[in-house]
Amino acid sequence: MKLLFELFTEELPASEMSGLENRVHETLTELLKSRNIDFKDLVVFLTPRRIAFKLESNDVITTNDKKITGPPASIAFKDDKPTKALNGFLKKNSVSLKDVQIEKTERGNYVYIIEKGKNIDVKPIMSEIVHDFLHKLNFKKKMRWGSGEFEFVRPVHNITFTIDDEVIDFNFAGIDSTSYTYGHRFLSKGKIRLSYENYLKELEGGFVIADQNKRKEIILNQINAVCKKESADVVYDEELLEEIVNINEYPKIVVGEFEEEYLSLPKEVLITSMKDHQRYFAFLRKGKLYNKFAAVSNIETDDMNIIKTGYERVLRARFNDAKFFFKEDSSHKLEDFVEGLKNMTFHEKLGSQFERVKRIESLSEFLSKTLNFDTVKAKRAAYLSKADLLTQMVYEFPELQGVMGKEYAIISNEDKEVAYAIYEQYLPKQDELPKTDTGVVLSLADKIDLITGGFIADLKPTGTKDPYALRRAALGIVRIIISSKINLNLKEVFEKSAESYGKKINIEEVIDFIKVRFKNYFSEYSYDTLDAIASVGIYDIYGSYLRLEALKSFFDSDKQKSKRFAVKRVFNIVKDFKNDSVDESLLKDKEEKALFEAILKIEEKSREYIKQKDYKGLLSEISSIENEINQFFDKVMVMDKNEKVRNNRLSLLNKLKKLVYFVADFKFLEI
């Protein structure tokens, strides 16, 4: 059985198309499996005006044999003859006495029958599945149209629903199913008869590339051809590419040109204007912005120059606006905008943007002193950090905040590192991280202030919702600290941040919040390894990362297996025992004396390992006394009857456990 379904609608919003292919596939798969339908070759097709899929399955499904329990045998039979209760059971299930069996259960003997599996026609079930699929398919926003009460993402114009190329009786949103569809809005005329085997080819004849992956390939091939012809490189943007794929049914690249005078503007301004306002691809030649662009048209005409001229005219107007904004903004020094932040609200519970700047400035001073960075630069960058929010350029292009701050700082003759820090405060972005010391400080201060404010104002994320991007800020802190190899005590930093608000927060709750991001960032590691690291604290993110690497190295080596086991034995027996003060006079056996001496030597060496954060070295040192540990467990009765002796031996083991604790809690590790 071969099923083809297509829902033909008004243009679907590009924002709704993101992830739609996976949602369609997952929803259908779940529904098909729930009805025990084996299927294959499920393929989803999406265009701006259609949601379609194809699949193959058997014509019938066979249900499993079903056991149906009846009344107790004592009630079903009297004098070995069937009673009214049994006859009623037989009639209800349309079986005879010969079908009855008896089984022994904990509650006594019961009669039962086996209902044989049935062959069921799949077609009616498929109609139910498609109906359920359309109602289960989630969208961010739905709408009503006409006089109906029905809601869907966009008005439905046609439904194609066939099995083995025969139309299935089906109705959705007041539309009956057909075997045809419609092609491109402008290039195609009339109805297009569809078949399972030639669906893509038939639509292509109607100027529709129904396969979204093929549309993407066509666009990329056309762009690559432009790059080759122009000896240029496209400014590749996956998000832009996906959006263009989702708004075109018949993509055709149009290469346009703009006047070189606009190249005097910062390239980020031009690229952003092309992408966000016009959905154009920009090009670079020899690393510099090239005065050509590629637009993707959803139509092909005999004279594409008409379309090209239109694209150029619209872009020229955008660039003229940007040129005006840049000129107006540049007529002021960047610091001139700072005072205006007093009238710009950061959050109703957290004050103005100016108040936020002062907090970031204070925190930047604290961080730069802690890290032995340039405090003057850090404070200056913090003071100017949000000034560009009041520029006309950032008002027009909010995504350029930081980018324009850097540009205007350079024009205002600010220190170069200060200027770059203003941009770097918004990093990480993809793989880009702050490179300057001042940028590291400002980016951390910005994110720490945001998280602190979020917890003070009860703006913490819930479920999948995180409107103030606190999770992203926490992950950014983790990434910056690790990439910059800096040591910070997060407890002290967040306490300092809370002071700037004049408030107190639950620091441990904040640390736990960051701990989750730390574990998510290293999700490729086993959960027990991450728990072992996180359980002893992650106040020092970089130190925690080094401990994680040390533990991974210790566990990746098969040669260390017996040593891991020896250390784990210590944790297994000590458990929650607290004392580590050993009375040497109570050490009687040579094995416990040997272990005590070995631990003392490690304690002496451990100070330097910990100071240098050489956790690999510390683990190696601890595991080097494997023999002493095993000899102790093999020859010494830890749980001695004498309480003093028993506790002293536990204290001895706890002394070793506390050394291991500088790296991880082995209690969580599966060995």
User: Mean pLDDT of successive 10-residue segments in the chain (671 residues)?
Assistant: 96 91 95 90 96 92 81 89 91 88 89 82 91 91 80 93 95 93 93 96 96 97 96 94 95 96 95 92 95 94 92 95 95 96 94 96 97 97 97 94 97 97 95 96 98 93 87 96 95 95 91 95 92 92 95 80 84 81 88 91 91 93 89 88 89 91 88 72
**423/388 Cα distance (integer angstroms):** 10
Query: Is position 530 within any domain?
Result: no
Query: Is position 363 within any domain?
Result: yes
C-beta of residue 566 within 8 angstroms of C-beta of residue 630: yes
Do residue 7 and residue 48 come from a single domain?
yes
Residue 107 confidence (pLDDT):
86
* CA 416 remoteness from chain centre: 35
**445/360 Cα distance (integer angstroms):** 6
Locate the DSSP E strands across 221-326: 233-234, 252-257, 281-285, 288-297
Do residue 155 and residue 56 come from a single domain?
yes
Query: Is position 529 within any domain?
Result: no
What are the Cα distances from residue 323, in Å, to 265, 327, 550? 7, 6, 54
**57/196 Cα distance (integer angstroms):** 13
Domain boundary among 304, 330, 356: 330
Q: How many CB atoms lie within 10 A of CB 192?
A: 17
Give 531's contacts (C-beta < 8 A, 6+ positions apart): 665, 668
Do residue 635 and residue 616 come from a single domain?
yes
> Rounded to 5 degrees, what angle do the CA atoms 661, 667, 671 make?
115
Tell me the angle at which helices 643-660 and 615-623 cross, rounded to the nearest 10 degrees.
140
Query: Is position 379 within any domain?
Result: yes
Write out the H or E segment, with its range, that includes residue 46: strand 39-47
Do residue 159 and residue 28 come from a single domain?
yes
Query: Is position 552 within any domain?
Result: no
Do residue 274 and residue 393 come from a single domain?
no
Residue 163 confidence (pLDDT):
95
Query: Is position 82 within any domain?
Result: yes
Write out the H or E segment, with its range, that includes residue 411: helix 403-411
Do residue 339 and residue 325 come from a single domain?
no
Query: Is position 639 within any domain?
Result: yes
Domain boundary among 276, 311, 330: 330
Do residue 438 and residue 561 come from a single domain?
no
CATH number at residue 630: 1.10.730.10
Residues in the chain: 671
164's tokens: 């083995």
Closest alpha carbon to 510 in 528, 493, 488: 493
Domain boundary among 145, 175, 204: 204
Closest alpha carbon to 2 in 163, 159, 161: 163
Do residue 20 and residue 164 come from a single domain?
yes
Number of domains making up the chain: 5
Domain hosting 580: range is: 557-668
CATH number at residue 486: 1.10.3210
Do residue 198 and residue 219 come from a single domain?
no
Do residue 381 and residue 473 come from a single domain?
yes
Do residue 384 and residue 494 come from a single domain?
yes
CATH number at residue 27: 3.30.70.260
Write out the H or E segment, with its range, that includes residue 569: helix 561-574
630's tokens: 């095993």
Residue with structure tokens 């009503």?
A: 144
Query: Is position 489 within any domain?
Result: yes
Do residue 504 and residue 585 come from a single domain?
no
